[in-house]
Every structure is written in C-alpha cells, then in structure tokens.
C-alpha cells in the first residue's frame, strides 16, 4: 500500500513539474514576442507615429525622433519615412541647413505641401542652403529616403543614419533611423 502511495506521489510531482515548465516556456515566449522590434520591412511608411510623445530640440519639436525600418532587403530597393516637426516657439525659426550622415540617405523638406529641396551628405555633391522660415506653430516634414544597396555587400547588417536640421533658435533637431539590411 505504501508503494502505491509513493508511485502516486511521484506521478503527482512529475505532473506539477511539467505544468510548471510549460508555464515558464509560455511566459518567456510572450516576453520575447513583446520585445521583438518591428519586422514589417515595408518599403514606404508615411503614417503619423502612434505615440503622442514628441522630441524637442530648442524651438523645433518632432512627433518622433527615432524610427526603425526593421529588417529590409537590399534587393527590394529604397525605403522612406516621413518625420513631422513643428515650430513650438512663439517666434519664426529660420532653418539654415539640412544634411544627412551618409550618402545613402537623402532628406527632402516639405512645407505647406511645397517641396523645398533635396539634401544629402556634405561633401558628396552639391548641398544647397535652406534659408526657409517656419512660422510659430507651423508644421513641416522631412521625407527621408534610404538606399540599402548604396554600400553594396559591405552594407549588410545593422545600420543607423541621421538627418540634422540646423536652425537659428537653438540646438539642431536630429532625426534618426535604424534598419537591419539583408541581401
């Protein structure tokens, strides 16, 4: 009789161990899925960011500062993202320069539905001056285009690029994107 009780006790302990192990695995899987970065990999993103928080650099305030393209393919071609910003001050702000951190990235200033100009990396072709005024509470956008194939096979892997907006009202506004470039 004692032998049967011992077998039942061991069976009950094994059952508890298996159920506990399954629960631990499910919790870990949920944590990993929640922490996983955006894997969309789409070629164009134009929607406004979901987060209401903004990033401020002096008078210029951006809806978002950082964007992650996730995994993107060199073979799929260029990708783009729009960064919306506004003049949060009570005075006009003069944008003097816009430039990118790499020749693989271009930035276009669009204000009031009007394309102002395209800007790139200093030293890689002509980089025009901006000299565009943003009125108080006026919004504009930077349309950023990244060419994942620009660096060839050596450009595969994690990538981080910046677009800098210099102005007369304080520190420059710096916009950043990341991507994981695949062949």
**pLDDT for 123-149, tens place per residue?**
877 778 899 999 999 999 999 999 999
Do 155 and 130 fall within a single domain?
yes
119 near 99, Cβ under 8 Å? yes
- Spatial distance between the Cα atoms of 88 and 84, rounded to a whole number of angstroms: 12
Q: Domain check: are 30 and 55 in the same one?
A: no
pLDDT of 6: 54
- What would the two tokens of residue 49 be? 């960011």
Domain of 123: which CATH number? Answer: 2.60.40.10
Assess whether 101 and 23 both reside in one domain.
no
- Containing structural domain, residue 12: 1-36
Count: domains in the chain: 2
Does 90 share its domain with 15?
A: no
**Residue 131 shares a structural domain with residue 74:** yes
Instruction: Point out which residues pair with 177 in neighbouring strands.
Output: 67, 161
**What is each CA distance from 110 to 25, 80, 130, 143, 172, in whole angstroms?**
49, 14, 12, 7, 18
Supply 80's token pair: 């783009």
Q: Is the same domain home to 49 and 29?
A: no
Task: State whether 133 and 160 are in the same domain.
Answer: yes
> Strand pairing of 114-119 and 157-167?
unpaired
pTM exceeding 0.85: no
167 and 88 in a single domain? The answer is yes
Q: Give the 3-state secondary structure of residue 101.
A: coil
Report pLDDT for 179: 96
Same-domain check for residues 69 and 145: yes
pLDDT for 3 beyond 80: no
Tokens of 17: 């161990």
Q: Are residues 159 and 102 in the same domain?
A: yes
């Amino acid at each position: 009789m004692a032998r049967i009780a011992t077998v039942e006790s061991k069976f009950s302990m094994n059952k508890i161990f298996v159920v506990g192990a399954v629960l631990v695995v499910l919790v870990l899987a949920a944590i990993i899925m929640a922490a996983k970065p955006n894997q969309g990999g789409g070629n164009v993103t134009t929607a406004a960011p979901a987060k209401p928080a903004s990033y401020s650099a002096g008078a210029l305030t951006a809806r978002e500062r950082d964007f992650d393209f996730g995994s993107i393919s060199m073979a799929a071609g260029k990708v783009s993202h729009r960064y919306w910003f506004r003049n949060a001050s009570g005075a006009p702000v003069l944008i003097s320069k816009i430039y990118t951190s790499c020749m693989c990235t271009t930035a276009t200033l669009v204000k009031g539905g009007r394309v102002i100009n395209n800007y790139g990396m200093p030293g890689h072709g002509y980089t025009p001056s901006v000299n565009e005024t943003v009125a108080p509470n006026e919004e504009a956008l930077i349309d950023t285009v990244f060419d994942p194939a620009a660096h060839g096979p050596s450009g595969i892997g994690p990538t981080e690029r910046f677009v800098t907006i210099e102005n007369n009202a304080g520190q420059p506004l710096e916009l950043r994107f990341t991507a994981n470039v695949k062949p």
